[in-house]
Amino acid sequence: MTIATKPISVTEYELGKLAERFESRGIEELLEWAVDRFAPRLVMTSNFGAEGVVLIDHLARVAPQTPIVYLSTGFQFAETDELKERLQARYNLNIIQAEAELTVEEQNRIHGERLYQTNSDLCCQMRKVEPLQQALSGYGAWIAALRRDQSPTRANIKTIEWNARNNLVKIHPLAAWTRATVWNYILKHNLPYNRLYNEGYSSIGCQPCTRRVSAGAHERSGRWDGSRKMECGIHL
């Protein structure tokens, strides 16, 4: 798809006002505004976690052909790919798969096996951050399914803000949602979700860097367990 690359014209002041305005509005109202303002230069990213499923359910009613970038790292769970197929079939989504320049085999050869253990930042940089930056290039606005209460690194996200790294507007329709409201929505509307949630996982990333968590543990504590890393870098 060819995307126009003219810079988005928006000021910090305007974004601040918009963030205030949409803080207490519904998701669909925010998505309708985003489509009106930015489409066809509007994109969503998702690895089809619980929040992503909720957002896709809304986006499918507003603008179902909005591109959804999925980072296929080569280390994702088979269950995640299987959910991707189920969502694709249910909503007829426009999913774009973004991949690293190096295959897993090439990465192993050049950087050694288990780079995710020896240098997880480099692994995330090559398999997530760089492919995403490339995939977002040319878009004017990016929708992501983050919640403020997911982690301290996300505590200050706004519903609409400037993302300097990718030079676009970033939109967080679920910023004020909680884990409970996400799951209430999924169950109430009988939405498909990653079956790993039923097997003790509370946040699902790449298979080598994701662990089951015990009851009561913080929901992202199973990611990069044993290290201080809390984010792969794409949302920093």
CB of 136 to ligand SF4, least distance (A): 17
Residue number of the CB closest to ligand SF4 reads 206
Per the CB < 8 A criterion, the answer to whether 163 and 12 are in contact is no
x/- track of binding to ligand SF4 for residues 185-214 (CB under 6 A): --------------------xx-xx-----
Instruction: Give the one residue of 72, 73, 150, 194 binding ligand SF4; rule: CB under 6 A.
Output: 73
Residues 6+ away with beta carbon under 8 Å from 114: 208
Q: Which of 166, 151, 148, 115 minimizes the C-alpha distance to 229?
A: 151
Nearer to ligand SF4, 66 or 107 (CB): 107
Instruction: Give the one residue of 123, 132, 135, 174 binding ligand SF4; rule: CB under 6 A.
Output: 123
What's the chain's Rg over C-alpha atoms? 17
Nearer to ligand SF4, 39 or 230 (CB): 230
Interface region with ligand SF4, contact rule CB under 6 A, candidates 20-28, 29-37, 122-130, 136-144: 122-130
Q: Which of 30, 40, 37 minimizes the C-alpha distance to 9?
A: 37
- The token pair at 224 is 């990069």
CB of 77 to ligand SF4, least distance (A): 11
Nearer to ligand SF4, 63 or 132 (CB): 132
- Peptide bond connecting 40 to the previous residue in cis, omega within 30 degrees of 0: yes
Number of residues engaging ligand SF4 in binding (CB under 6 A): 13
Neighbour-count burial of 2, counting CB atoms closer than 10 A to its CB (0-12 exposed, 13-18 middle, 19+ buried):
exposed
Instruction: Give the one residue of 75, 91, 162, 197 binding ligand SF4; rule: CB under 6 A.
Output: 75
Residue whose pair of structure tokens reads 């949602």 in the numeric block: 177
Q: Is residue 206 annotated as a catalytic residue, yes or no?
A: no
d(CA 44, CA 59): 9
120 interacts with ligand SF4 by CB under 6 A: yes
Beta bridge partners, 206, equal: 76
Interface region with ligand SF4, contact rule CB under 6 A, candidates 25-33, 61-69, 117-125, 181-189: 117-125
Nearer to ligand SF4, 66 or 72 (CB): 72
Q: Which of 77, 73, 75 minimizes the C-alpha distance to 129?
A: 73
Q: Which of 44, 81, 71 minimizes the C-alpha distance to 125?
A: 71
Residues identified as active-site: 232
In the complex, the residues that contact ligand SF4 under the rule CB under 6 A are 73, 75, 116, 120, 123-124, 127-128, 205-206, 208-209, 232
